[in-house]
Structure 1
């Protein structure tokens, strides 16, 4: 799922995610709408804070293979057993 869709699907989700990321809701909106670039480090933060629902591939569709070559052999959606996806928190993890 892309970031714009993720924050639009539930009222208050953008404010909550922005708070967990330590950014303003307006900056999160700029990232979601492609007006501000998202660094690889921030992509990992977003991916973790969304429980893997917003993928690194969706956040950086043009260069994710170069940044995270280990993901090339893995399915698009991360599984719950992915060690980088925290199991606690309000977010749900995507399933295959």
Structure 2
């Protein structure tokens, strides 16, 4: 979770860029995130491409596994 949060920050161009893209949150707050707040996960996923399941498996569960072809 922590690592996924850091990856999301990097993909967004850093905490300041992610904060600006999200709006309503300071870059200082984003810098301090150890995990993305649950209410921000879907926006962070949309902006960075980092899955909600990676960002907050405690909220969204493990990523669904693709079904095996028969």
Same fold (TM over 0.5): yes
Residue in structure 1 matched with residue 64 of structure 2 by the alignment: 72
Listed one character per residue, the Cα deviations across residues 10-50 of structure 1 (whole Å, up to 9, x for unaligned) are 8x52211110111111111222x24xx612x4100000111
- Structure with the largest fraction of helix: 2
Tell me the number of residue pairs that the alignment of Structure 1 and Structure 2 aligns.
64
Q: Which runs of 5+ in 1 are unaligned?
A: 66-70, 76-96
Q: Which whole-Å CA distance do the structure 2 matches of 1:14 and 1:74 have between them? A: 32
For structure 2, the residue ranges without an aligned partner over 5 or more in a row are none
- Where relative contact order (Cα < 8 A, 6+ residues apart) is larger, the structure is 2
